[in-house]
Amino acid sequence: MGKVFDHITDNIREFVSRQHLFFVATAPLSADGHVNLSPKGMDCFRVLSEQRVAYLDLTGSGNETSAHIAENGRITFMFCAFQGSPNIVRLYGTGRTVLPTDAEWGTLAGHFPDYIGVRQIIVAEIDRASTSCGYAVPFMDYRGERETLTKYWEAKADEVSDYQRDKNSASIDGIPTPLGEALGDPAER
């Protein structure tokens, strides 16, 4: 049924590249903190090598992933086959946040579409890749990407930084994010 690898195989890379949706999971160190699981789409995930992946993170209502990986690095990605043969792929590793002001940004950003409202790129070094059956994952048809997020930021392009400062500076548990540190404290505006 399932297999475990210490890297991203060619078969896993091919499977991941065909998926329209993935999930990213992180957790704080505190047992009282909230585990985060976020769905992601919009063609924003890339396998950069057998050990490295990245995804373009768009501005949204929270910034848990960035806060958690800044605190402890742990990150897991999951991809499910909603069409074709059943399969689930999980990628485990250590993540970090790359901001638009970081030197590495220019090299990484070229791998992704140019969306308005981009917040950061999450990069992860993968040390475990696993497959499992996916027999209980339902068939679902892909109809296209939602345009809601891009239209929202197109209409509010001049408000992105303020929104990020207000909503993305810390996790729901109060863990600071690299973006929040770069933008400064919202109380000091």
State the residue for tokens 């000091």: 188
Q: Give dist(CA 34, CA 126) in Å, integer.
A: 23
- Here the tokens at position 104 are 């590495």
pLDDT at residue 185, as a whole number: 59
Using one digit for the tens of pLDDT, what is the confidence trace for 84-127? 999 999 999 999 999 999 999 999 999 999 999 999 999 999 99
| Chain centroid, CA 14 distance in Å | 19
* Contact (Cβ atoms closer than 8 angstroms) between residue 109 and residue 169: no
What are the chain's domains?
3-188 (2.30.110.10)
Q: How large is the average pLDDT for residues 8-29?
A: 98
Is a pLDDT exceeding 50 seen at residue 189? no
Amino acid at 111: H
Average pLDDT over residues 177-184: 93
32-83 per-position pLDDT tens digit: 999 999 999 999 999 999 999 999 999 999 999 999 999 999 999 999 999 9
Q: Is the pLDDT of residue 150 over 70?
A: yes
pTM (whole model) above 0.85: yes
pLDDT band, residue 184 (cuts 50/70/90): confident
- Confidence (pLDDT) at 67: 98
